[in-house]
Amino acid sequence: MSLNTPIFLKEREEDNSKFVEIQQSQTTSIAAEYPLQNLCLASQEVLQKAQQNGRSKCLKCGGSRMFYCYTCYVPVENVPIEQIPRVKLPLKIDIIKHPNETDGKSTAIHAKLLAPEFVNIYTYPCIPEYEEKDHEVALVFPGPNSVSIKEISFHLQEKIQNNVGGKNDDLDKPFIKRKKTEEQDLNDSKCKDTTLKKIVFIDSTWNQTNKIFTDERLQGLLQVELKTRKTCFWRHQKGKPDTFLSTIEAIYYFLVDYHTDILKEKYKGQYDNLLFFYSFMHQLVKNAKCPGDKETRKLTH
């Protein structure tokens, strides 16, 4: 009997291993089908009621909209602003919107609605001046020169050292000593990952992004790419990889990774409410794919 025990245990371990693999496969499959199911969101009852009641008036411009006014960046009359969550972000966000981007289809507005104190939207060719602040600003955009979020600190520190070094060439010795002290302070601050102050996103169809991306005012910025995230956007552009995210997805996933990889803190859903509108619309579209369901029409602004 004792001779067969090792064989029995080995078979049991193999069965357990197969069971775990099946469970993991099922979990992955479920996560892929329902990517937004485990978010820590505020109650969406206000959106459910608004969706049932139909379009409502914008209190600023008087336009008829669903959920929010994409022109004024405010909720509509039947969506009380106090029932919309406010999200506190660890840095500022600038969104550069292509002039041909359809306002009613843009998810960038979600960020402005949910984190108004931290988000600004500019319509191209209007772009803020970043030249003197390129050591504390980064641009999220894929490309051969882009770096991962984990590499941001290293590359921004290089910019700081280059900027400080360039300014010290013609200074006298006592002032150089002071500058060295200041440089050390900056490096210490960098080691604490506090240098990045602002992140820039481009809001446009992927076919239209080149005009904004190649603008000389953005050329000096560190370029960051989100390589491990996949979109669940219902308007995904044909022919583009599933790693090409909608604007609000890019903002959300950047902040989640920034929180864990740069701030070195455990993520507990702090930014999940950035997907407050997005997740609700995603569910409506998903439900609308069922035969006989016409809710998608109500999503049209």
pLDDT in tens, the chain (301 residues): 454 555 655 566 665 555 544 444 443 333 445 567 789 999 999 999 999 999 999 999 999 999 999 999 999 999 999 999 999 999 999 999 999 988 888 999 999 999 999 999 999 999 999 988 889 999 999 889 999 999 999 999 888 877 665 555 544 545 555 555 555 555 554 444 447 999 999 999 878 888 999 999 999 999 999 987 877 765 555 656 566 788 999 999 999 999 999 999 999 999 999 999 999 998 888 887 765 545 444 454 4
Q: Collapsing DSSP states into helix, strand and coil, what is residue 74?
A: strand
- How does 170-203 read in b/e, with b if 16+ C-beta sit within 10 Å? eeeeeeeeeeeeebeebeeebeebbbbebbbbbb
d(CA 94, CA 122): 7
What is the DSSP code (8-state) at residue 236?
P
Phi and psi angles of residue 96, each rounded to the nearest 5 degrees, phi first: -100, 110
Name the residue with tokens 């000389």: 216
**In angstroms, rounded to a whole number, what is the distance separating the alpha carbons of residues 278 and 248?**
8
Closest C-alpha among 252, 146, 137 to residue 199: 137
Q: The pTM is what?
A: 0.77
Task: Specify the amino acid at residue 248.
Answer: I
Domain boundaries of the chain, sorted by first residue:
42-83, 85-159+193-286
